[in-house]
Structure 1
């Protein structure tokens, strides 16, 4: 089935074709018609499945033919857990927005930056992409109104709740009109998410995209057994010998991310750290350079890494293993995105060996552990 058969207008289909999207991903096949028909939607899908476009496209379609919004009343709200995801969703909206007649005014608002410039841009907004805390700040200042809200999207609902935003979400929901369309996407169905679903959705169309449909088989995984003190030299050897030009490296802490970045730069490898202690401006600039191919290495922690969505990212490295197998899948899923091949490398110490076995067992895939003791690097 093609995008034109899903009920999208010629303008949007043309925009999709310009981006070289040939066919809809599974989540888009199911979500786009359901959202266009104004159904509530429950989507169980991970990042990389095409879910952002699955709700952005029908939302843009719904605005075609409508008069220009000239007030501070928001018709469409997209609630997300992190600043990086807010910027990513906004970027997707802008990408499709360029080719349609009735262009949607979209704003992304989040904490960590001054609220005043955001407030000045809000008048006439069609689509507001917001993190919970900053949205409540704007509401407290009467900068916007949600009284006429038509559509609510809650993206990565499990992350919203895991990051401690339950009270904020409850407060936001209490301010919304009872009659509205609700769209919820989540990678997992934890108890807290199930409770929110019961509260939020009415007879939803349920869409489930299994994780194995998204990434693992497309990712070539390699693991090295290496001592802690030799991890850095091995990593530099891999980057330089293989001439990697775009590498995303995951660490378990901000301190390790900063130290590793410093050492890479010292050895002539262009790198920047990407974590919660960095300023929003610094994080935005690092991600912008990395996406544009102007930055060779981005060193990220797990929380910051959740907002990184880069088309055809070739290499991901686990400098340290994450705590859970689920986080490991999420990390390596930054590559091998929705149809593209990718490679993931993990540097395993003897102390991490048992945990590596646990990850493989959960993943249901065994990766040969390469000894490095006799390697020259």
Structure 2
């Protein structure tokens, strides 16, 4: 998709191609046009292709992977008894919380269950949710691996999608061993999506470990900065 096609594209043009309830949720969120990373990756993700995406923080990558994931699980008829259909791994609690908030808004009219699995929260509450059945999990690597190894009756045998969000930060935080441990417990027949602000040798090595198919590499121009212009940042 070239720059002119991206500028003319809006989500209404996906009517009939993705579930109408997703379009309704996007409209309720006040989102009409996709960002460049969404416009470039959505066609490939909807086809089930593996993706390596170079995208800055704040570029809209969260919806870039949530929209096709939710659509896929709807089409496959996922419900609680099918268990986990998608696992989204984030490098920090804060990013996991943000992703989960966007996911909840997207699922407002859609009967798919979701859960946030992060360190620092009560583990027994998470165990109860996982044993009941959760379709989409957003979490941090250490806590997800802990549940895969220790929570009875919890598995990802029906998993269809794995998302590694901000993979460069996952590596910076020393989570490579956790990710390898998680991947070993997942089915090989899955779609894998990896997003990173930068793509270097370490990211390519991680991609080889986690992506089974020939991935489509998508990069947005002017990727020298790690965040988009205008993104508000702060610290505490």
Deviation at 1:211, TM superposition (A): 3.3
Q: Deviations over 1:78-117 (max 9, x none)?
A: 11111111111111110111133xx210101011122111
Structure 1 alignment gaps of length 5 or more = 220-246, 251-298, 300-377
Superposed counterparts of 1:206-285, under 5 Å: 206-209=217-220, 210-211=222-223, 215-216=228-229, 218=230, 249-250=234-235
Deviation at 1:215, TM superposition (A): 2.9
Q: Deviations over 1:314-373 (max 9, x none)?
A: xxxxxxxxxxxxxxxxxxxxxxxxxxxxxxxxxxxxxxxxxxxxxxxxxxxxxxxxxxxx
Deviation at 1:20, TM superposition (A): 1.5
**SS of the residue aligned with 1:134?**
helix
1:140 aligns with 2:149: yes
Deviation at 1:75, TM superposition (A): 1.7
State how far apart, in whole Å, the 2-side matches of 1:161 and 1:212 are: 19
Give the one of 10, 13, 37 matched to 1:5: 13
Q: Decide whether the 8 Å contact of 1:4 with 1:10 is kept in 2.
A: no
Q: Deviations over 1:235-264 (max 9, x none)?
A: xxxxxxxxxxxx9644xxxxxxxxxxxxxx
Deviation at 1:35, TM superposition (A): 1.1
**SS of the residue aligned with 1:207?**
strand
Superposed counterparts of 1:146-161, under 5 Å: 146-161=156-171
State how far apart, in whole Å, the 2-side matches of 1:40 and 1:27 are: 15
Partner of 2:64: 54
Deviation at 1:133, TM superposition (A): 0.6
TM-score, length of structure 1 as denominator length: 0.55
Deviation at 1:187, TM superposition (A): 0.7
Q: Decide whether the 8 Å contact of 1:41 with 1:206 is kept in 2.
A: yes
State how far apart, in whole Å, the 1-side matches of 2:53 and 2:129 are: 31
Partner of 2:137: 128
Deviation at 1:130, TM superposition (A): 1.6
Deviation at 1:124, TM superposition (A): 1.9
Give the one of 172, 190, 196 matched to 2:182: 172
Partner of 1:193: 203
Partner of 1:21: 31
Q: Decide whether the 8 Å contact of 2:78 with 2:135 is kept in 1.
A: no
Structure 2 alignment gaps of length 5 or more = 1-8
Structure number with greater CO (CA < 8 Å, separation at least 6) is 2
Q: Decide whether the 8 Å contact of 2:37 with 2:61 is kept in 1.
A: yes
Partner of 1:292: none
State how far apart, in whole Å, the 2-side matches of 1:186 and 1:248 are: 19
Which region of structure 1 is more displaced relative to structure 2, 14-23 or 60-69? 60-69
CA RMSD of aligned residues (A): 2.0
Partner of 2:114: 106
Deviation at 1:212, TM superposition (A): 6.6
**SS of the residue aligned with 1:118?**
helix
Q: Decide whether the 8 Å contact of 1:108 with 1:129 is kept in 2.
A: yes
Which region of structure 1 is more displaced relative to structure 2, 126-135 or 56-65? 56-65
TM-score, length of structure 2 as denominator length: 0.86
